[in-house]
């Protein structure tokens, strides 16, 4: 077999292997092992680029176990031989005594100086730095131009796989976070006893972020409901109720907390504040369970929508995340209106205007969106379903329609009619997808109405349901 044919086979086999999973850690481990095998080297190190810190972080190796390291090696672009390849976006090859090169960077827990040669290449996703990888040999070795081209080709293909795996990992993390919040809301809404609710919040907090310890500190300074033990790093978040601090959530861990984890803890702190005031209200004889029931149901709805999105075949992970964000914001808009109005009904004209402004800002550059909305009031639980339906239909019109979108909301003879029309190419007769499935289910089950999709110089989506 000639060299080019062999390299083509190795490239095909490597890419097939790393495309066999979306689990990021598994992808990176496969990359390290398969690349080392493809080029017959003793070691392969795979780095991912962290945009927030502007650093390359070692995530997988073949030849040295990352798990055994006390601190994960990091380097900036231009630092070290691999960092130089990343900065210059070009391969760097040193055939012997690589550790004597002035660009070499030594890590105390990474014995790279035992290797003689190194070939490092950047990992680029659509010309954007996603990481870098290098291969090493114990004996001096001059890598051929064909071998360098093979490693560059592998890195180019692996970049897309890594990007998709990262998006998948982010989506899974969001599902886990929302499920944690749903469990907290369930604990708050189901228990009439303050101790049970707050104990459940502390335990769920530790599970959600892998904390070594957590506690709720009340406004009088008393530490209540402590679990676990202190760690090296701590986060303290205020519990606020109507702009007044009523306590703190303290969480400890032996590793630093990420920005996403801090955001999750802030949401948990909000729920803890709600639970604390809820328990106090119960002890005063005032039951305030309805808001907790609403939060619980809507968070469970969000978790269900994310699970449905995750099961969709051939879904673009970035598009799936964007759609999920719009659905969550639609539910948040209903909560905002209910909070401001302090009633159990929602004025749909105001709600739809908020959602329209939100979606148009992100998706409708250069498009004309007109709205003719009559005053219509709807119960809070049904308004949530309608908000999701409206967001899905308007987003579809903005993404796939023409230059003009018309929105209509009317109420006649005990029925509410919502119509969204665009001047695009129209909808296919057998159109289907996750968004359309969600709309059909919500209209049928939550609104007890009907959905009509037809082509009238574009697509016209019409939802009709009983007002009460």
Q: Can you give the C-alpha Rg of the chain in angstroms?
A: 27
Average pLDDT for residues 417-443, to the nearest whole number?
A: 76
pLDDT, one tens digit per residue, over 264-284 is 888 888 877 877 776 666 555
Q: Which CATH superfamily is domain 191-311 in?
A: GAF domain (3.30.450.40)
Share of the chain above pLDDT 70, in %: 69
Length of the chain: 468
Burial category of 67 from C-beta neighbours within 10 Å (exposed 0-12, middle 13-18, buried 19 and up):
exposed
Q: What is the average pLDDT score of the chain?
A: 77
Residue 342 pLDDT exceeds 60 = no
Q: Which CATH code of 3.20.20.70, 3.30.60.50, 3.30.565.10, 3.90.1150.10 fits the domain covering 314-468?
A: 3.30.565.10
Q: In the chain, what are the domain boundaries?
A: 3-166, 191-311, 314-468
CATH topology identical between 3-166 and 191-311: yes
380 vs 383: CA distance, rounded Å: 5
Q: Does CATH place domain 3-166 in 3.30.450.40?
A: yes
pLDDT of residue 1: 47
DSSP H or E run through 46: strand 43-50
Cα torsion through 21, 26, 30, 33, rounded to 10: -170
pLDDT band with cut points at 50, 70 and 90 for residue 62: confident
**DSSP for 198-238, written as a single string:** HHHHHHHHHHHHT-SEEEEEETTS-EEEEEE---SEEEEEE
Cα 259 versus chain centre, distance: 13
186 vs 63: CA distance, rounded Å: 47
Which tokens hold the place of 78?
A: 């231009």
Burial category of 276 from C-beta neighbours within 10 Å (exposed 0-12, middle 13-18, buried 19 and up):
buried
Residue 241 pLDDT exceeds 50 = yes
Higher-scoring residue by pLDDT: 326, 458:
458
pLDDT of residue 350: 85
Q: Left if phi > 0, otherwise alpha if psi is -120 to 50, otherwise beta: which for 369?
A: beta
pLDDT, one tens digit per residue, over 92-114 is 999 998 888 888 887 766 666 77
pLDDT, one tens digit per residue, over 298-324 is 555 555 555 655 555 655 666 656 666
pLDDT band with cut points at 50, 70 and 90 for residue 408: very high
Q: Return the minimum-mean-pLDDT range out of 20-29, 259-268, 319-328, 388-397.
A: 319-328
pLDDT band with cut points at 50, 70 and 90 for residue 292: very low
Residue 377 pLDDT exceeds 60 = yes
pLDDT band with cut points at 50, 70 and 90 for residue 286: very low
Which of 8-11's residues contact partners 24+ apart within 8 Å by CB, and which partners? 10/37, 10/38, 10/150, 11/38, 11/150, 11/153, 11/154, 11/157
pLDDT of residue 70: 45
pLDDT of residue 426: 74
């Amino acid at each position: 077999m000639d060299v080019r044919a062999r390299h083509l086979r190795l490239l095909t086999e490597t890419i097939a292997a790393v495309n066999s999973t979306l689990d990021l850690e598994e992808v990176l481990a496969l990359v390290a092992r398969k690349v080392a095998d493809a080029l017959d080297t003793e070691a392969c190190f795979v780095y991912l680029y962290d945009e927030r810190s502007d650093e390359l972080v070692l995530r997988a190796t073949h030849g040295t176990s990352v798990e055994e390291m006390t601190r994960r090696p990091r380097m900036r672009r231009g630092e070290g031989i691999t960092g130089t390849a990343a900065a210059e976006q070009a391969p760097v090859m040193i055939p012997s005594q690589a550790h004597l090169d002035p660009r070499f960077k030594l890590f105390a827990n990474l014995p790279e100086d035992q290797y003689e040669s190194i070939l490092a290449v950047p990992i680029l996703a659509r010309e954007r730095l996603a990481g870098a990888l290098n291969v090493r040999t114990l004996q001096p070795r001059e890598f051929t131009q064909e071998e360098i081209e093979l490693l560059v080709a592998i890195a180019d293909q692996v970049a897309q796989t890594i990007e998709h795996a990262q998006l998948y990992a982010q989506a899974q993390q969001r599902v886990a976070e929302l499920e944690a919040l749903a469990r907290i809301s369930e604990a708050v809404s189901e228990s009439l006893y303050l101790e049970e609710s707050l104990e459940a919040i502390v335990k769920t907090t530790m599970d959600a972020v892998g904390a070594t310890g957590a506690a709720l500190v009340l406004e009088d300074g008393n530490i209540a409901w402590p679990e676990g033990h202190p760690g090296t790093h701590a986060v303290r978040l205020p519990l606020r109720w109507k702009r007044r601090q009523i306590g703190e959530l303290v969480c400890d861990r032996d590793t630093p907390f990420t920005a996403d984890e801090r955001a999750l803890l802030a949401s948990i702190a909000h729920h803890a504040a709600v639970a604390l005031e809820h328990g106090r209200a119960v002890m005063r004889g005032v039951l305030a369970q309805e808001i907790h029931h609403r939060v619980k149901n809507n968070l469970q709805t969000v978790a269900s929508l994310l699970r449905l999105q995750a099961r969709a075949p051939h879904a673009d992970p970035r598009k799936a995340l964007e759609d999920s964000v719009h659905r969550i914001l639609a539910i948040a808009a209903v909560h905002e209106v209910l909070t401001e109005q302090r009633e159990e009904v929602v004025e749909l004209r105001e709600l739809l205007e908020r959602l329209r402004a939100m979606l148009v800002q992100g998706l409708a550059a250069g498009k004309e969106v007109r709205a003719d909305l009559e005053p219509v009031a709807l119960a809070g639980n049904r308004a949530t379903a309608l908000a999701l339906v409206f967001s899905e239909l308007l987003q579809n019109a903005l993404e796939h329609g023409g230059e003009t979108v018309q929105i209509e909301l009317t109420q006649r003879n005990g029925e509410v009619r919502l119509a969204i029309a665009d001047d695009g190419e129209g909808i296919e007769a057998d159109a289907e997808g996750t968004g359309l499935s969600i709309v059909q289910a919500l209209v049928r089950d939550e609104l007890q109405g009907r959905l009509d999709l037809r082509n009238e110089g574009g697509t016209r989506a019409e939802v009709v349901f009983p007002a009460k």
